[in-house]
Structure 1
Amino acid sequence: MTTRELPHTRPARLTVVIKALNEEGRIALAIESALRAVQHIGGEVVLADSCSTDRTVEIAAAYPIRIVQLAHPDERCCGAGPQLGYQHALGEYVYLMDGDMELLPGFLDRALAFLAQHPEVAGVGGRVVERNLESLEYRERAARERLEPHRVPGPVDRLDGGGLYRRCAIQEAGHLSDRNLHSYEEFELAVRLRARGWKLWRLPIDAVAHVGHETPPYKLLMRRWKSGYICGSGELLRSALGQPWLRLVWRNQREIRLYLGVLAWWAVLLTVPLWPMEWPLRAGALTALALAPVVLMSLRKRSLARGIYAVVSWCFNAAGLVRGLLHARKPTTEPIASRVLREPGGPGLSGRGAPGGASPGGAFRNAPLPPSPPSAHRS
């Protein structure tokens, strides 16, 4: 069936929303870890699928979860997936994770206890354990994350990598994620919450393990360009224009300032041929200015390959910022058109037929939904 929004008929204490696109190799682990986590808490698991073309939905249908899917594949983006799942979530608390993650035991219990003791906190996260350090992209990410303040336990300005949020805080902020964003969706939620006085916190415990896709770094850049992921910084900046949280975006999102600096670097390079000097001097100045960032980054990272990749990545992202600023926006208050493919206690896939082939194993295959308490819980 096609729906705009699922009627909320049965309260649950907590909903784990798993957003996925073509995760057939990892989705079973993500679902089983989420079901284990909510089994004794009282909750549900919702798979928000962005029109996967592999066996992701077929595999997920073997589990007692709600499966919802975008009605229009052209609406795929990082911001649409979480909001789609939230539209169909019943929990008073909502935990967001990716389809290539594993929710680690004990985190949700600690997070719920922390929120119960700190009513001023809207959301709480934990550490993200990166398990794919073979790729240059993920090695670079892991190196950056060790230095990022919002990865340190304590009060933070965002919850990258997933977090547990109060529904009442999300409702006050208007929506879970901006359907127009191809990236930075968790940061955008954070600034909306913080602008309303809410706080965010990171606990000193492991929350999820993440296994990113093993893609060569330059191929990954091209994939992100084609998918629009690389446009997220511009889309984020545009979404904040005229809003009370614009100052927070500018102050806390250093990548935007970096990419604007790259655009300024390009502008200087374009003016060099017009400089009033002999052409050999202009050629030398152009070469020096063009190579200076590569040399500096190679020295900083102690690797020519990493230095070149850093500068190329900057250039892609700077171009993406411009693309994102020019993207048209849809109203964030308008529900995302979707299909409900499966309910936890219902039959197989609605409108898709029963899943074929071998079904995944695991303790939760075809198991009943963990019970929900008779009334919703709120701290």
Structure 2
Amino acid sequence: MNPVGFVIIGRNEGARLDLCIDSVMRTHQRAVYVDSGSTDGSVARAKARGLPVVELDPAQPFTAARARNAGWERLLRDDPGLELVHFIDGDCELIPGWLDKALAALLADDRLAAVCGRRRERAPDASRYNRLCEHEWNTPVGLAESVGGDALFRIAALEGVRGFDETLIAGEEPDMCHRMRRRGWLIRRIEGDMTIHDAGMTRFGQWWQRNRRSGYATAEALAMRGSQDAEAGRDLRRKVLSNIVWSLPPAWMLWPLLWLRIRQRKDALQATWLTLGKLPHLQGQLDYWSRRQRANTGARRIELIEYK
């Protein structure tokens, strides 16, 4: 029995998908590719490399959560005894040697639901927006609240919470990890480079959309689990209120003070764009609240917020 299966998800990733698939295939482990309505030949790319492909039905809204669930469920149909699954986004490349580190860490502690490592940005100096991603991936080593799109999971933990919530268009990993931790599982970030991510952000509009999506996820997380976990609820409410307060025109004159406060913990680049990011974050929150109101009247929910 193979110790781990890979789930690659993608939507119009082009040449990035080639790098992703090739890096996974070098591990000689079982893998499946799940496509969310690509129009760039991604399905043919995967099939040409001999990968099983799951094409999601476009009649239902595409989400990364839905794709990941379809992937690990397909792996289990092919190999019911599989115990571990590694998710990787189609714009990422697996770093050689990472899988051995992740397997060793997860198998050494049966309390762990998931293990992740350090994402690296492929071209951090290509734009200020890519550099911001490089900083974002640098999370602390040790016990963590959640992982990102790339991580090794124990299938027993996935089954225990019924996988990802497919209705979420963003923030699906923190949501699932939150549910796992409530069941007693642990999440750990270990030392070591895991994947190379290709944000490919060169335009202000891409940065705006990405932060808008983040604001949407924050508002949705508060609505879904703010009352379930007192500490998490306080943190989420603080973020939501901060975006509201600092985005109001009267507060703009105080942005230098906000910048200085952030600068105490971050470099100047991060302080500048985290301050400006209050605006698209608020837009994302408003998007969520508007969608929620429309959902109460039976309207179709919001589509994906994409930045590429």
* TM norm structure 2: 0.81
Q: 1:248: how far off?
A: 5.2
Q: Which residue of 2 aligns with 1:218?
A: 205
Cα 1:209/1:219, change in 2 over 3 Å: closer
Please state if 1:202 is matched with 2:189: yes
Please state if 1:105 is matched with 2:102: no
Please state if 1:120 is matched with 2:111: yes
Matches within 5 A, 1:141-160: 141-146=133-138, 151-160=139-148
SS at match of 2:191: strand
Moved more, 206-215 or 185-194: 206-215
Instruction: Select the residue among 173, 193, 207 that pairs with 1:186.
Output: 173
Q: Is the contact between residue 10 and residue 90 of structure 2 (CA under 8 Å) also seen in structure 1?
A: yes
Cα 1:291/1:144, change in 2 over 3 Å: farther
Q: Which residue of 2 aligns with 1:319?
A: 283
Q: Which residue of 1 aligns with 2:242?
A: 261
Q: Is the contact between residue 298 and residue 308 of structure 1 (CA under 8 Å) also seen in structure 2?
A: no
Matches within 5 A, 1:89-100: 89-90=75-76, 91-100=82-91
Higher Cα Rg, which structure: 1
Q: 1:192: how far off?
A: 0.8
Q: Which residue of 2 aligns with 1:310?
A: 274
Please state if 1:21 is matched with 2:11: yes
Q: Which residue of 2 aligns with 1:136?
A: 128
Please list the CA deviations of residues 225-269 of structure 1 after superposition, one character each: whole Å capped at 9, or x if unmatched.
5xx565222222223255x4x33533565xx623322213456x5
Moved more, 80-89 or 204-213: 80-89
SS at match of 2:277: helix
Structure whose residues are more often helix by fraction:
2
Q: Is the contact between residue 233 and residue 324 of structure 1 (CA under 8 Å) also seen in structure 2?
A: no
Higher relative contact order (CA 8 A, sep 6+): 1
SS at match of 2:7: strand
Query: Aligned partners of 2:111 and 2:273: how far apart in 1?
Result: 42
Unaligned runs of 5+ in 1: 1-10, 270-285, 330-379
Q: Which residue of 2 aligns with 1:168?
A: 156
Instruction: Select the residue among 225, 229, 233 that pairs with 1:240.
Output: 225
Query: Aligned partners of 2:193 and 2:182: how far apart in 1?
Result: 28
Letter in 2 for 1:170: L
Number of residues of Structure 1 aligned to a counterpart in Structure 2 = 284
Please list the CA deviations of residues 12-34 of structure 1 after superposition, one character each: whole Å capped at 9, or x if unmatched.
53211111110112111101111
Q: Is the contact between residue 246 and residue 278 of structure 2 (CA under 8 Å) also seen in structure 1?
A: no
Q: Is the contact between residue 191 and residue 248 of structure 1 (CA under 8 Å) also seen in structure 2?
A: no
Cα 1:107/1:309, change in 2 over 3 Å: closer
Q: 1:169: how far off?
A: 0.8
Query: Aligned partners of 1:94 and 1:137: how far apart in 2?
Result: 31
Letter in 1 for 2:144: V
Q: 1:320: how far off?
A: 1.0
Letter in 2 for 1:138: N
Please list the CA deviations of residues 10-65 of structure 1 after superposition, one character each: whole Å capped at 9, or x if unmatched.
x753211111110112111101111112x1xxx41111111011121121111121
SS at match of 1:89: helix
Q: Is the contact between residue 238 and residue 325 of structure 1 (CA under 8 Å) also seen in structure 2?
A: no
Letter in 2 for 1:64: G
Q: Which residue of 1 aligns with 2:32?
A: 46
Q: Which residue of 1 aligns with 2:254?
A: 292
Instruction: Select the residue among 62, 78, 90 that pairs with 2:64.
Output: 78
Please list the CA deviations of residues 296-350 of structure 1 after superposition, one character each: whole Å capped at 9, or x if unmatched.
42793776x8766434321111221232245358xxxxxxxxxxxxxxxxxxxxx
Q: 1:130: how far off?
A: 1.5
Please list the CA deviations of residues 173-215 of structure 1 after superposition, one character each: whole Å capped at 9, or x if unmatched.
222x211222222111111111111111122111111121233
Q: Which residue of 2 aligns with 1:34?
A: 24
Cα 1:204/1:314, change in 2 over 3 Å: same
* TM norm structure 1: 0.67
Query: Aligned partners of 1:138 and 1:70: how far apart in 2?
Result: 30
